[in-house]
């Protein structure tokens, strides 16, 4: 069965066509700059790597262009839109309504719309992708895969904020969690690899956004992102944990308005705010040349991760493995080394040689006598979406 995975963002649509159950990637691509004068379409198959520039007025046009490429007599991979069995949609926020992947109905669309207040930058675009795909693939099943679903198992003591109860009961203010598809995917890979009867692991997703999850026997029990994807670790442009009173200081003493505060904390902070760069490769290169701000930012970044490891070992009363994933987690031996040094108390001992090897497979980078395993597992959110969509209808 062909599954078309769609990740519809504010100005882009990422897509992959995956054959299940063989997990074969048939084609992938990205439509960027939707709504701008020069839209860009990237489309990759075994025999094609195409980049097109053309105006893409809106998501409807973007998805139509994708369908044209999929059906193209020369470059295409399907003959007819009915060759797509399921369209799997990434939906960022499922609120408390969705703890699992769901077939899309009018009721589900309505709920996704209602939850938009919790994710105004994401859910409306995800919904747009769903509506357009329904029209273009009328005979395919449409499935929604929620980033928040993996965190529906968080116990109340971990998901509640210590604010008046009515804000939780009447206004749903609580920890929701994000990057759930990635945390779930690497958790399952780690558990297959570890083959333990019971397990306590920490998954560390370090991309542009960064988050950590404490997972007991495959179920999340704590997570570093919160009501929005702002909390916790230091990210590319987001501050992660700060004293919330800084917001009041910025407003009342420094005269910021709330929009400016929001932009500051989500787009101008994190590694960018500390160094002037948000790409970790640049920061590492500058640190090597002796740039003090970059050295400090790397140390702060790793220190924050260490503190969360400590907190989650306490929360789980033990640890079998930590798992690094996503762009930084998979590729930065520097961050992994900084995180794992001086962690003897948790039985974490990194093998420096293994840490520096490269591979696109799951790999163990701890010393042979390390009590806690340190794993690097490449994430694959699109494949996880395809798997969940496939399992839903089989
Ligand atoms: P997204 O959250 O957008 O999916 P990714 O998972 O692709 O992000 O991660 C992007 C981050 O990964 C960037 O900060 C980038 O610098 C970092 N990264 C990618 N490759 C490397 C590398 N070889 N070494 C260090 N960092 C890397």
pLDDT tens track of the chain, all 394 residues? 999 999 988 788 999 999 999 999 999 999 998 888 889 999 999 999 999 999 999 988 999 999 999 999 999 999 999 999 999 999 999 998 898 999 999 999 999 999 998 888 789 989 999 999 999 999 999 999 999 999 999 999 999 999 999 999 999 999 999 999 999 999 999 999 999 999 999 999 999 899 999 999 999 999 999 999 899 999 999 999 999 999 999 999 999 999 999 999 999 999 999 999 989 999 999 999 999 999 999 999 999 999 999 999 999 999 999 999 999 999 999 999 999 999 999 999 999 999 999 888 999 999 999 999 999 999 999 999 999 999 999 9
Q: How far, in Å, is the centroid of ligand 1 from the Cα of 169?
A: 38
Report the CATH fold assignment for 2-151: Nucleotidyltransferase; domain 5 (3.30.420)
Q: Tokens in use for 321? A: 């493995």
Domain 180-376: top CATH class: alpha beta
> Rounded to an integer, what is the distance from CA 353 to the centroid of its chain?
28
Which is the closest atom of ligand 1 to the Cα of 205? 6
- Ligand 1, atom 4, lies closest to the CA of 207
CB 39 within 8 A of CB 32: yes
Residue that has been written with the tokens 């109860």 in this structure? 165
Q: How far, in Å, is the centroid of ligand 1 from the Cα of 113?
A: 31
Q: How far, in Å, is the centroid of ligand 1 from the Cα of 341?
A: 22
pLDDT given for residue 119 in this prediction:
84
Protein residues with CB under 6 Å of any ligand 1 atom: 207-209, 236, 279-281, 326-328, 331-332
Which is the closest atom of ligand 1 to the Cα of 284? 25
pLDDT given for residue 372 in this prediction:
98
Domain ranges of the chain: 2-151, 180-376
pLDDT given for residue 359 in this prediction:
87
pLDDT given for residue 310 in this prediction:
98
List the catalytic residues. Answer: 147
- Ligand 1, atom 25, lies closest to the CA of 332
For 135, counting Cβ atoms within 10 Å of its Cβ (0-12 exposed, 13-18 middle, 19+ buried), the class is exposed
pLDDT given for residue 118 in this prediction:
85
Q: How far, in Å, is the centroid of ligand 1 from the Cα of 389?
A: 27
pLDDT given for residue 38 in this prediction:
87
Give the N- to C-terminal CA distance of the chain in Å, as an integer. 11
For every residue of 282-328, DSSP letters joined together read: HHHHHHHTT-HHHHHHHHHHHHHHHHHHHHHHHHHT--SEEEEEHHH
Q: Give, in degrees to the nearest 5, the angle at Cα 201 between 196 and 204.
A: 140
């Amino acid at each position: 069965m062909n599954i078309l995975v769609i990740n519809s963002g504010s100005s882009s649509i990422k897509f992959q066509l995956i054959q299940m159950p063989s997990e074969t990637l048939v084609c992938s691509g990205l439509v960027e700059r939707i709504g701008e004068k020069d839209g860009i379409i990237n489309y990759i198959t075994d025999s094609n790597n195409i980049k097109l520039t053309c105006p893409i007025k809106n998501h409807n046009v973007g998805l139509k262009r994708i369908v044209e490429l999929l059906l193209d007599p020369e470059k295409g991979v399907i003959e007819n839109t009915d060759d797509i069995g399921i369209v799997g949609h990434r939906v960022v926020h499922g609120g408390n309504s969705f703890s699992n992947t769901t077939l899309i109905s009018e009721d589900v669309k309505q709920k996704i719309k209602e939850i938009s207040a919790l994710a105004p930058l994401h859910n409306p675009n995800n919904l747009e992708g769903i509506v357009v795909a329904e029209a273009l693939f009328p005979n395919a099943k449409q499935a929604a895969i929620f980033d928040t679903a993996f965190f529906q198992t968080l116990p109340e003591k971990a998901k509640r904020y210590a604010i008046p109860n009515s804000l939780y009961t009447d206004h749903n203010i609580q920890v929701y969690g994000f990057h759930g598809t990635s945390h779930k995917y690497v958790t399952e890979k780690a558990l297959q690899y570890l083959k333990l009867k019971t397990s306590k692991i920490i998954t560390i997703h370090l991309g542009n956004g960064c988050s950590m999850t404490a997972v007991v026997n495959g179920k999340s029990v704590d997570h570093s992102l919160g009501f929005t994807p702002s909390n916790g670790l230091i990210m590319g442009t987001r501050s992660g944990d700060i004293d919330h009173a800084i917001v009041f200081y910025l407003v009342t003493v420094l005269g910021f308005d709330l929009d400016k505060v929001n932009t500051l904390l989500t787009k101008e902070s994190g590694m960018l705010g500390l160094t002037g760069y948000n790409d970790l490769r640049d920061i590492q290169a500058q640190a090597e040349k002796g740039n003090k701000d970059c050295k400090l930012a790397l140390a702060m970044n790793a220190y924050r991760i260490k503190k969360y490891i400590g907190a989650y070992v306490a929360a789980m009363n033990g640890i079998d493995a930590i798992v690094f994933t996503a762009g930084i987690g998979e590729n930065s031996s520097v961050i992994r080394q900084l995180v794992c040094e001086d962690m003897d108390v948790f039985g974490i001992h990194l093998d420096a040689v293994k840490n520096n090897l490269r591979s696109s497979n799951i790999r163990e980078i701890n010393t042979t006598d390390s009590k806690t395993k340190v794993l690097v597992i490449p994430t694959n959110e699109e494949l996880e979406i395809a798997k969940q969509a496939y399992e839903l209808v089989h």
